[in-house]
């Protein structure tokens, strides 16, 4: 019986060589690699709306200072005489440590009453320089600033011999004028100044 079975197996192998009597371990079949799926790239959308363009703020151009002249009708003013005591005004103020702009001036050699004028700046300066080279020991300059409506004195100054003095004024919008007296003065110049930031803020472009 056993011989018969062996004979059948031998004949099967002869007839079909692919049949393995004693099969070995299974041969691994390679798994095909996964093909990566490309990630879609988003194309940025460009807006057709133009970006707002910032317009620079215009800065006022510094205009040449205007000149203040003497009045031709001083006796029509509410006050036309200098006060008797100038010592009440004390020494000059310290110069302002800021960029200053000269917007008006008055100069000359003699005294008198100035034309009426208005200053729009909340803080401004009277910067006075007196020259008396011929008789410096006798030089004398006096000035008071007054309200034009009633003659009330706002501030004043006196320069003996020669030199300079600064007065800081905090009056704006009102009509004012100056009373000036001189003695043995070769020349004087009063410059009206204001800080640059006030000039830019209160001056029309």
Question: For the chain, what's the residue count?
Answer: 205
Class for the domain spanning 66-202: mainly beta
The domains of the chain are located at 66-202
What pLDDT tens digit does each residue of the chain (205 aa) get?
554 544 444 454 445 555 454 455 555 555 655 666 666 666 655 556 666 666 666 666 889 999 999 999 999 999 999 999 999 998 899 999 999 999 999 999 999 999 999 999 999 999 999 999 999 999 999 999 999 999 999 999 999 999 999 999 999 999 999 999 999 999 999 999 999 999 999 986 4
Alpha carbon distance, N-terminus to C-terminus of the chain:
127
Alpha helices in the chain (DSSP H): 2-15, 196-202
């Amino acid at each position: 019986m056993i011989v018969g079975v062996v004979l059948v197996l031998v004949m099967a192998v002869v007839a079909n060589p692919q049949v393995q009597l004693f099969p070995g371990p299974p041969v691994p079949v390679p798994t095909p690699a996964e093909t990566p799926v490309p990630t879609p790239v988003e194309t940025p959308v460009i807006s057709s709306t133009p970006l707002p363009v910032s317009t620079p703020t215009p800065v006022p151009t510094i205009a040449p200072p205007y000149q203040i002249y003497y009045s031709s009708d001083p006796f029509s003013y509410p006050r036309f005489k200098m006060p008797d005591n100038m010592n009440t005004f004390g020494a000059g103020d310290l110069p302002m440590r800021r960029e200053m702009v000269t917007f008006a001036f008055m100069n000359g050699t003699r005294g008198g009453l100035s034309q009426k004028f208005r200053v729009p700046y909340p803080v401004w300066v009277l910067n006075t320089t007196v020259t008396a080279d011929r008789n410096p020991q006798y030089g004398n300059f006096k000035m008071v600033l007054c309200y034009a409506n009633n003659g009330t004195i706002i501030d004043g100054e006196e320069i003996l011999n020669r030199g300079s003095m600064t007065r800081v004024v905090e009056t704006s919008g009102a009509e004012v004028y100056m009373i000036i007296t001189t003695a043995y003065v070769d020349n004087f110049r009063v410059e009206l100044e204001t800080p640059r930031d006030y000039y830019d803020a209160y001056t029309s472009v």
